[in-house]
Chains A and B, each alone.
Chain A
């Protein structure tokens, strides 16, 4: 299947400081990638490089098979971008603004009416076409920003903090919209809200000071976690010392989150635990939450 986005060793330096360290990404149709990281981790910089707003210091970006540096116009036709601050013209009405955006993305006059209606319907702006943008609430302005990003039906949608300024109901609608759009597109979104990423995305890149510390599924399948309950209260290091156990993390006084070494099965782990003389009261599969993943990654546990 054709990758809608491929980045190859994409990096960015500013005044000899590397803001984004080499990043490799491949996104296909249906992928919703979440960019996570503390403030200043390089999320917006990566998005700006992918949409062509900022040139990378090194590396390549390929969108739908078109190199962003060699064939920028063909590549950009397939991008819809919503920056952190929606790029709006407050003195225009919603319809005027969306019409201009459609022209900018090369839509023909005959296509514009339908494209505008589609974008407005998706973003819940059917009743707001004649309203001045500056008179809209922040949430509605965010919707207009999203509408301009999808009006030309791009293959790759890049959304920087799209839920900013939306109320919980609107956030839920946005989540549904992104999932619906991702059926035939790839979406990249950044958010500070971990639950937002968890609820919307199927992949995540966690960044720490420009470095990718995790790039994969939200719940890694290759390392299934188990919730382990013991009658005794041994140290994490004692549990991790068992041959079958790769990592052990104490969640609660009596519970641990463990991962198994490759090739070991839970029954072998159980035998080794019992062999140490510990009384096991629980050993059940547990999905690692994004918060744990994020904290582990940004504090160095998932290098």
Chain B
């Protein structure tokens, strides 16, 4: 049933101009970044090239993609629960033969399914070069995996705040606040190692550099499950009144 709901939610999302507009905008911005990276790389003297083209693409193109996903996800997720609570359409799901877990999973898969299309854009752009140059495909796949894990984590955070409020605006603002906090935690040099560990950029950077470490994958999965667990708890609390 989760997959049925995911399909319904994804289709509903894809009927909105926002979804197509965002995809188009992201394609433009990422293509621009892709061309800019190629131009700066080809203009560089060979002696000054400390990193290969794949690394340059992975850092710059996938870096921009991560920022775009950070900006888009709260807007996508905010309406998924908040708006349905507010306009009463949540009753459609709560009276259907679906558990709260199925509802949450369905919505999560729908958003990650949409973001996966965005995640594939940098990879497809890079693959256009594969006929003319030797790309480190493993590195690009690691960065793609990082971007996918990041999408899942951001979606989990967004769904939690969406389940928390009946106002989509507040839900989106709270999600942005949490994502910004998790982005900037490692900027504070005096903070404890645990605080540093909580920040996502360092974990994502490892994957951008091609280091697929279990600890980084576990970080994203744990954070995703933590926020999904909180969202599930919130949905159960709501049902109990």
Contact = CB atoms under 8 A, between A and B. Distances in A.
Q: A and B from one assembly?
A: yes
Given A55-B241, A106-B1, A148 B97 contact: no
18 contacts: A51-B95, A52-B94, A52-B95, A72-B99, A73-B97, A74-B97, A76-B96, A76-B97, A83-B91, A87-B88, A91-B15, A96-B15, A100-B12, A104-B96, A104-B98, A105-B96, A106-B97, A148-B92
B122 to A, nearest CB: 30
B110 to A, nearest CB: 12
B4 to A, nearest CB: 5
Contact of B97 (A12, A77, A87): A77
Interface of A: 12, 14, 51-55, 72-74, 76-77, 79, 81, 83-89, 91-92, 96, 100-101, 103-106, 148
A142 B47 CA distance: 72
Interface string B6-21: 0110011001100000
A81 B89 contact: no
A44 to B, nearest CB: 11
Interface of B: 1, 4-5, 7-8, 11-12, 15-16, 87-99, 239-241
A83 B88 contact: yes
A73 B88 contact: no
A87 B91 contact: yes
A55 B240 contact: yes
A75 B229 CA distance: 25
B95 A88 contact: no
A54 B239 contact: yes
Nearest to B94: A53
Given A83-B88, A88-B89, A104-B4, A53 B95 contact: yes
A92 B239 CA distance: 27
B241 A91 contact: no
A53 B239 contact: yes
Nearest to A53: B94
Contacts of B240: 55
Given A14-B241, A54-B241, A79-B95, A104 B5 contact: yes
A52 B15 CA distance: 30
Contacts of A148: 92
B7 A103 contact: yes
B104 to A, nearest CB: 15
Given A54-B239, A55-B240, A73-B97, A104 B92 contact: yes
A79 to B, nearest CB: 6
A199 B88 CA distance: 29
Given A81-B95, A84-B88, 13 more contacts: A51-B91, A55-B239, A73-B1, A76-B98, A83-B88, A83-B91, A86-B88, A87-B91, A96-B15, A100-B12, A101-B92, A105-B97, A106-B4
Contact of A87 (B1, B16, B89): B89
Name B's interface SS.
Answer: helix
Contacts of B4: 103-104, 106
Contacts of A76: 95-98
Contacts of A91: 15-16
A164 to B, nearest CB: 13
A89 B98 contact: no
B91 to A, nearest CB: 5
B14 to A, nearest CB: 12
Nearest to A76: B97
Nearest to A54: B241
A105 B97 CA distance: 6
A96 B16 CA distance: 14
B184 to A, nearest CB: 36
Most buried by B among A85, A87, A101, A148: A87
B90 A87 contact: yes
B183 to A, nearest CB: 32
A103 B8 contact: yes
B113 to A, nearest CB: 16
Most buried by A among B1, B15, B89, B97: B97
A100 to B, nearest CB: 5
Contacts of A87: 87-92
A101 B11 CA distance: 13
A51 B97 CA distance: 10
Contacts of B90: 87
Nearest to B93: A104
Contacts of A79: 95
A98 to B, nearest CB: 11
A190 to B, nearest CB: 15
Report, nearest first, the 7 A-B pairs whose CB atoms are least far apart.
Answer: A85-B88, A81-B95, A87-B92, A73-B97, A76-B97, A87-B89, A53-B94
A211 B40 CA distance: 76
